[in-house]
Amino acid sequence: MQKKGCKKIFITGGATIYRIGMKYTDKLKITRIQKEYKGDTFFPEIEGDEWALIKEEKHYDEKEKVDYSFQTFKRKK
C-alpha cells in the first residue's frame, strides 16, 4: 500500500485489512456502538500506548435503544 498523495483513505474491513491499514495512518475515526453483536470481523483493539483519544461525541439512538459514539484517535509520536 502506498499513499501517493492521498489525504484520506477509508478502510471498511475485514479484520486483517483493518490491522494492515492501521500501520499507514496517524488518525482513526471510529464509530463505537455500545451493544454486543454476533459476528466474525471486529476492529482491532486500540492500544492506549500508541493512540490518544482526541475527540468523542456521545449519542443515544432512541429507536434501537443503544448508546454510540464517534471517536477520533491520533497516533502518539
Lookup result for grid cell 483493539: 45
The full set of domain ranges for the chain reads: 27-75
- pLDDT, position 75: 96
- pLDDT, position 2: 59
CA dist 23 and 26 (Å) reads 8
Model confidence, pTM: 0.81
- pLDDT, position 3: 60
CA dist 64 and 66 (Å) reads 6
pLDDT (tens digit, 0 to 9) for every residue of the chain, 77 residues total?
Answer: 556 777 788 888 788 898 898 888 899 999 999 999 898 878 888 988 999 999 999 999 999 999 999 999 999 98
CA dist 7 and 39 (Å) reads 31
